[in-house]
Structure 1
Amino acid sequence: MTIRQKLAQFAQYRQTIRELSALDNHQLKDLGITRADIKNIARGPAL
């Protein structure tokens, strides 16, 4: 994997964290996740 690909993956990870963090607790609950899950969920597809 190239540096460019790693940087793109990290950017996707950060974007996912930003988007999920912007949701309120009720919206997160509707999705079946908690604030503590956000980093693990973001890490899944991106890294």
Structure 2
Amino acid sequence: MARPMNNVYENYRRWRRYRTTVRELETLTPRDLQDLGIRRNDIQRLAREASRL
């Protein structure tokens, strides 16, 4: 029973990490994103990658 609960918790943590990353990157100005080498349409992909860590 502990294993399924761990999966639920882990999935929730990943989802939160994804949402936090998207929210933070979306607040950056175009200039900030350019300085980081990020295009606005890359934000969701980068957040997905970050949430898999």
| Same-fold call, TM cutoff 0.5 | yes
**Count of aligned pairs between the two proteins:** 47
**Structure 1 match to 2:25:** 20
Gaps of 5+ in 1: none
Q: What is the Cα deviation at residue 36 of structure 1?
A: 0.2
So what's the TM-score if we normalise by structure 2?
0.83
* Runs of at least 5 residues in structure 2 that lack an aligned partner in the other structure: 1-5
C-alpha distance in structure 2 between counterparts of 1:20 and 1:44, whole Å: 13
Considering only aligned residues, what root-mean-square deviation do their CA atoms show, in Å?
Answer: 1.1
Partner-residue secondary structure (3-state), 2:38 = coil
Identical-residue share of aligned pairs (%):
36
